[in-house]
Amino acid sequence: MSTGVAVIGSGNIGTDLMIKIMRLSASLRMVAMAGIDPASDGLARARRLGVATTDKGVEGLIAMPEFADVRLVFDATSAGAHRDNDAALRAHGRTVVDLTPAAVGPYVVPPVNLDRHLAEPNVNMVTCGGQATVPIVAAVGRVTPVAYGEIVASIASRSAGPGTRANIDEFTETTARAIEVVGGAGRGKAIIVLNPADPPPLMRDTVYCLCPDAGADRTAVARSVAAMVDAVREYVPGYRLKQEVQFDPVEAYVPALGRTFSGLQVSVFLEVSGAGHHLPEYAGNLDIMTSAALRTAERLVEVRRA
């Protein structure tokens, strides 16, 4: 028996998520979509697909008769809006999967820590950069300690909508914190680059890990990274390594650590292409978020039905 779900946010992310639920999920059933723009393409598409809609946001969703059939809600709005949305939904006992950088609930990156947070009423999907790179920091960290992790996420400017642009500060702060809390690095830093190139490039992510043990088993690290890439690719088929993992001895002053660091730098270069369910292939940054949210929700309902 499938579980009824709703999506708040009728932009690109919310629309892509709706389509993924309807095409890919056997355990989730799309019941309703809520937005705030009556003329949005997302709400129009939902209506064409037979999904109930409202343009009155979360309050409109709660007032819909279909809400009684909704057990889990995806929030694809903004960090600011999410706090109010979560409070409203929590009062009605609904589980929330948060695709904004609000981080009301714990950070969740499916192949790293999903099963630790299955009882939470609200889980946060970090950011697109976090979903792409935190697994790699964790993969290195399960072989050798990571004192500092830095990631650079480069995305097509055309794939960065108003919500992404409005939340740049939250993006960098949330991703950096997730590198530490979920990835296990002692310190984390995140940089986002909006690439205006035409044609739009695919999402590229670079992960730098500074490891104190210069003699760490490089073969074991490379194997751990490859295994993690395979784990992410199970739900994000366009996720891949661009080249072999790089290892470089390093001794340099690291401002984020406030000291000279001596050890091993592990560099990992990734590319993410979208599945093309609703968004173009170059929008891998959005696709990895909706794919991670779908995987998370399916696991949540699987455990709670058991």
| Ligand-binding site membership of 162 (annotated) | yes
Q: How far apart are CA 254 and CA 265, in angstroms?
A: 12
Average pLDDT over residues 41-49: 97
Distance separating alpha carbons of residues 216 and 194, to the nearest angstrom: 34
* Residue 209 annotated as catalytic: no
CB 40, CB 14: distance < 8 Å: no
Domains of the chain in start order, with CATH, are: 3-125+287-305 (3.40.50.720), 128-282 (3.30.360.10)
Whether 85 has a binding-site annotation, put simply, is no
Q: How far is Cα 185 from Cα 172, in angstroms, rounded to an integer?
A: 16
Give the Cα-Cα-Cα angle 232, 235, 239 (nearest 5 degrees). Answer: 50
What is the model's pLDDT at position 160? 84
The pLDDT assigned to 274 comes to 95
When the pLDDT of each residue in the chain is averaged and rounded to a whole number, the result is 96
21 annotated ligand-binding residue: no
Burial class (CB in 10 A: 0-12, 13-18, 19+), 200: middle
Q: Is 63 annotated as a binding residue?
A: no
Q: How far is CA 279 from CA 24, 78, 211, 293, in A?
A: 15, 19, 37, 16
Tens digit of pLDDT for each residue in 238-267?
999 999 999 999 999 999 999 999 999 999
Q: Out of 128, 264, 288, 292, which one is annotated catalytic?
A: 128
Other Cβ atoms within 10 Å of 119 Cβ, number: 9
Q: What pLDDT, on the 0 to 100 scale, is given for residue 306?
A: 64
What pLDDT was estimated at residue 275?
Answer: 92
- Distance (Å, whole) CA 177 – CA 184: 10
